[in-house]
C-alpha cells in the first residue's frame, strides 16, 4: 500500500510549474509514472482507491480514474478485480534499464559501448558544425540582420499566402519551387556569369547540405577529395563525416596551387574550391589556375565543387565571374547560399548542377528531408524578382566596406604591435596573423573571458601554420560596436 509520504509528494508535485499547461488527469498520470520510474513506488505496491486518492488530492474521481487507466494501458499498473490497483512487475524491468545516456559529444566519445555506424563515428569525430546563436564580436561569417528590409519581406510573404492559399502548405518539388529556381538562375547568369538553367538548379536548406549531398552522390566511403589548405571547416567536416579522405592542397596569393592536382599521387577525382573569395585567406583563384582545374576535371572525369559562399560582397571591384561559367565541359557544381547575403535563419542554399547529376541528386535529397520550406521559397522568389534582393546587397556592400575600415582602424589603434592584418577585397571577415611570440589559444581564451569571440585560424589548416591568428568577423557589428570591442579586446590581452 502506498504510504502517506508518497501522497504528500504527489500533492506537492501537482503544483510543479512544468505541468501548469496540462489537464489534471495528465498531471496525475505523469507524476505517478515518475514515482514509479524513480523507484518511489515499487513493483507490487498498492495504490489508493480512485475515490480515496481523489479525496486526498481534492480532485474528481474521474480525474484519478483517467490517470489510472492510462497507466494500465502503458503497462505500469495492474487492476485486479475486487482487490485494487497495483504497480506491475513490468515496471521493475523498465526501471532496471539505464535511463540516462551520454548527451555531450565528449561523453559519447568516452563511451566504449556505442553501437553506431562508421559514418556516425566519423561524424562524431568531426565535432560537427556549430553556428553562432548568441552574437558576439568578432564572430565570423555572420551578416547584418538589423538593417534587413523586414517590411518588404513581410509584404512579399502576405502576397504569397494570398495568391497560393493553402496550396503553399503542401509538399514542394524536391528540386525547389520553379519560381525560385527561375529567379536564382536569372540572378546568377546576370551577376555571377554562370550558365544556369532553371531545370538544373536545386534548392536546398543550406550550402552545408549541398556539400553533404555531393559527398554521398559523387564519392564512395574511403575515396579521396582535394580541398584547400586552409579550408572552410564545415566543408572538411562534411566530407570526413561521409567517410572521405581529405587531401590538402596549399593556398597562396593566387588561391589553391592547382598544379598539384595533376602531380599528386592520390586518385582523387573531386576538388573543393572557394575560388572567388578563398576561405579564410580571401585570395582569388587566378584565371590560369581556374582553367587548369577545369582541364584537370575533364581529364580525370572528375568534379569541381565551387563554393561561392559570399561573392556578392566585394569592395574594391566587381566580383570575379564564376568558374561554372568558364567550364564548357560541365564538370563544375556551383554552390551558393542566401544565409550570408540575407539572414542566417532563412535556411536556403542551392546548387547549379550538370544535367546528368540532377536526377541522382534529387533522389538522394528525397531520402534526407524531401524539400525546402515552400512558403519561404516563394517569398524569396518574389523578393528577388521585385528587386529587393539586389538593392539589399548593394546597400550591405557599402555598409560592410565601412565596417571593414572600422575594424582596421580599431586594430591599428589598439593592437598594432600584436596583430598583422590581411585586408580582404570582400567577404564578411578579415584574417589576422599574430606575432610569432603570441600564442593563439591563449588570446582566444582571454578574449572569451571578456565576452569576445575570436575564431582561430589554426583550426582551418591541415598542418598547423607556424604562426597563429584570428578570423575576425565585422559585417554584423556597427563601427561603434567594433571600436568598443577592439578596446575591450586590447584590455583583455594586454592587462
Residue 87 near residue 36, CB atoms below 8 Å: yes
Does the pLDDT value for residue 108 go beyond 50?
Answer: no
Strand-pair partners of 314: 426
Helix and strand totals (H; E) in the chain:
18, 14
Band of residue 106 on the pLDDT scale cut at 50, 70, 90 = very low
Q: What is the pLDDT of residue 200?
A: 98
Give pLDDT tens digits for 68-86: 999 999 899 999 988 899 9
Give pLDDT tens digits for 235-258: 999 999 999 999 999 999 999 999
Sheet with 429-434, side-by-side order of all strands: 419-421, 429-434, 469-473
DSSP 36-97: HHTTSS-TTPEEPPHHHHHHHHT--HHHHHHHHHHHHHHTSEEEETTTEEEE-THHHHHHHS
Residue 290 near residue 319, CB atoms below 8 Å: no
Over the chain, what is the mean pLDDT? 90
Torsion of CA 133, 135, 141, 147, to 10 degrees: 110
Give pLDDT tens digits for 290-325: 999 999 999 999 999 999 998 889 887 777 889 999
Band of residue 101 on the pLDDT scale cut at 50, 70, 90 = very low
Q: How much is the average pLDDT of 448-467?
A: 91
| Torsion sign over Cα 228, 230, 234, 239 | positive
Does the pLDDT value for residue 162 go beyond 60?
Answer: yes
| Torsion sign over Cα 6, 10, 12, 16 | positive
- Distance between CA 388 and CA 5 in Å, rounded? 66
Query: 471: part of which helix (H) or strand (E)?
Result: strand 469-473
Band of residue 127 on the pLDDT scale cut at 50, 70, 90 = confident
Give pLDDT tens digits for 405-450: 999 999 999 998 899 999 998 999 999 999 988 999 999 999 999 9
In order of 67, 141, 147, 421, the CA distances from 478 in angstroms are 56, 15, 11, 19
Q: Which residue has the higher pLDDT, 105 or 146?
A: 146
Percent of the chain predicted with pLDDT > 90: 69
Q: Per residue in 24-58, is it b (16+ CB within 10 Å) or e — as a string?
A: bbebbbbbbbebbeeebbebebebbebeebbeebe
Judged by DSSP in three states, 410 sits in: helix
Q: What is the pLDDT of residue 463?
A: 84
Q: What is the pLDDT of residue 422?
A: 93
Q: Which of 50-59, 121-130, 240-249, 308-317 has the lowest mean pLDDT?
A: 121-130
| Residue whose C-alpha cell reads 590581452 in the numeric block | 493
Please work out, in degrees rounded to the nearest 5, the angle formed at the alpha carbon of residue 462 by the alpha carbons of 456 and 468. Answer: 30
Query: 226: part of which helix (H) or strand (E)?
Result: strand 224-229
Give pLDDT tens digits for 133-142: 678 999 999 9
Q: What is the pTM of this model?
A: 0.83
In order of 134, 302, 345, 477, 485, the CA distances from 481 in angstroms are 15, 46, 23, 6, 6
Does the pLDDT value for residue 107 go beyond 50?
Answer: no
* All domains in the chain, ordered by first residue: 4-96 (1.10.10.10), 150-387 (3.40.640.10), 391-494 (3.90.1150.10)
Judged by DSSP in three states, 249 sits in: strand
Judged by DSSP in three states, 322 sits in: coil
Q: What is the pLDDT of residue 112?
A: 53
Band of residue 484 on the pLDDT scale cut at 50, 70, 90 = very high
- Distance between CA 245 and CA 225 in Å, rounded? 6
Q: What is the pLDDT of residue 39?
A: 82
Q: How much is the average pLDDT of 41-47?
A: 88
Band of residue 103 on the pLDDT scale cut at 50, 70, 90 = very low
Q: How much is the average pLDDT of 378-385?
A: 98
Q: How much is the average pLDDT of 343-369?
A: 96
Q: State in Å, rounded, how far the first CA of the chain is from the last one.
A: 66
Does the pLDDT value for residue 189 go beyond 90?
Answer: yes
Does the pLDDT value for residue 451 go beyond 90?
Answer: yes
Q: What is the pLDDT of residue 304?
A: 98
Residue 296 near residue 302, CB atoms below 8 Å: yes
Band of residue 95 on the pLDDT scale cut at 50, 70, 90 = low
Band of residue 42 on the pLDDT scale cut at 50, 70, 90 = confident
> For residue 467, with 0-12 CB atoms within 10 Å meaning exposed, 13-18 middle and 19 or more buried, which class applies?
middle
Kind of pairing, strands 332-337 and 349-352? antiparallel
Band of residue 132 on the pLDDT scale cut at 50, 70, 90 = low
Does the pLDDT value for residue 96 go beyond 70?
Answer: no
Q: What is the pLDDT of residue 122?
A: 74
Residues 6+ apart with CB under 8 A from 414: 486, 487, 489, 490
Give pLDDT tens digits for 2-32: 555 566 667 777 777 776 778 888 888 988 8
Amino acid at each position: 500500500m502506498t504510504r502517506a509520504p508518497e501522497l504528500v509528494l504527489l500533492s506537492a508535485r501537482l503544483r510543479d510549474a512544468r505541468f501548469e499547461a496540462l489537464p489534471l488527469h495528465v498531471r496525475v498520470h505523469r507524476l505517478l509514472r515518475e514515482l514509479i520510474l524513480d523507484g518511489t513506488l515499487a513493483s507490487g505496491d498498492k495504490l489508493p482507491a480512485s475515490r480515496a486518492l481523489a479525496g486526498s488530492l481534492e480532485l474528481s474521481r474521474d480525474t484519478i480514474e483517467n490517470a489510472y487507466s492510462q497507466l494500465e494501458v502503458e503497462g505500469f499498473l495492474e487492476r485486479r478485480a475486487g482487490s485494487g490497483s497495483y504497480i506491475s512487475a513490468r515496471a521493475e524491468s523498465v526501471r532496471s534499464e539505464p535511463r540516462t545516456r551520454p548527451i555531450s559529444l565528449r561523453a559519447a566519445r568516452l563511451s566504449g559501448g556505442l553501437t553506431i555506424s562508421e559514418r556516425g563515428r566519423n561524424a562524431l569525430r568531426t565535432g560537427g558544425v556549430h553556428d553562432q546563436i548568441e552574437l558576439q564580436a568578432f564572430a565570423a561569417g555572420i551578416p547584418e540582420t538589423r538593417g534587413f528590409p523586414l517590411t518588404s519581406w513581410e509584404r512579399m510573404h502576405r502576397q504569397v499566402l494570398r495568391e497560393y492559399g493553402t496550396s503553399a502548405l503542401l509538399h514542394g518539388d524536391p528540386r525547389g519551387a520553379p519560381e525560385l529556381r527561375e529567379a536564382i538562375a536569372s540572378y546568377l547568369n546576370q551577376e555571377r556569369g554562370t550558365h544556369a538553367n532553371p531545370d538544373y538548379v536545386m534548392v536546398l536548406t543550406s550550402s552545408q547540405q549541398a556539400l553533404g549531398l555531393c559527398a554521398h552522390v559523387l564519392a564512395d566511403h574511403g575515396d579521396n577529395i582535394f580541398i584547400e589548405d586552409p579550408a572552410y571547416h564545415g566543408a572538411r567536416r562534411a566530407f570526413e563525416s561521409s567517410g572521405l579522405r581529405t587531401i590538402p592542397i596549399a593556398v597562396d596569393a593566387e588561391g589553391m596551387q592547382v598544379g598539384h592536382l595533376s602531380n599528386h599521387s592520390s586518385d582523387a577525382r573531386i576538388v573543393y574550391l572557394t575560388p572567388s573569395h578563398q576561405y579564410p585567406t580571401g585570395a582569388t583563384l587566378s584565371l590560369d589556375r581556374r582553367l587548369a582545374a577545369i582541364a584537370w576535371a575533364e581529364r580525370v572525369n572528375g568534379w569541381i565543387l565551387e563554393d561561392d559562399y559570399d561573392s556578392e560582397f566585394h569592395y574594391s571591384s566587381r566580383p570575379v565571374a564564376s568558374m561554372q561559367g568558364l567550364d564548357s565541359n560541365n564538370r563544375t557544381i556551383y554552390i551558393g547560399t542566401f544565409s550570408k547575403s540575407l539572414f542566417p535563419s532563412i535556411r536556403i542554399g542551392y546548387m547549379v548542377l550538370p544535367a546528368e547529376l540532377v536526377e541522382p541528386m534529387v533522389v538522394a535529397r528525397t531520402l534526407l528531408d524531401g524539400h525546402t520550406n515552400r512558403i519561404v521559397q516563394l517569398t524569396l522568389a518574389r523578393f528577388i524578382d521585385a528587386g529587393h534582393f539586389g538593392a539589399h546587397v548593394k546597400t550591405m556592400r557599402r555598409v560592410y566596406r565601412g565596417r571593414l575600415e572600422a575594424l582596421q582602424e580599431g586594430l591599428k589603434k589598439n593592437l598594432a604591435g600584436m596583430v598583422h592584418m590581411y585586408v580582404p577585397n570582400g567577404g564578411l571577415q578579415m584574417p589576422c596573423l599574430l606575432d610569432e611570440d603570441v600564442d593563439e589559444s591563449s588570446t582566444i581564451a582571454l578574449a572569451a573571458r571578456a565576452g569576445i569571440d575570436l575564431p582561430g585560424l589554426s583550426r582551418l589548416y591541415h598542418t598547423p601554420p607556424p604562426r597563429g591568428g584570428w578570423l575576425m568577423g565585422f559585417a554584423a557589428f556597427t563601427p561603434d560596436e567594433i571600436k568598443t570591442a577592439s578596446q575591450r579586446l586590447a584590455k583583455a590581452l594586454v592587462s
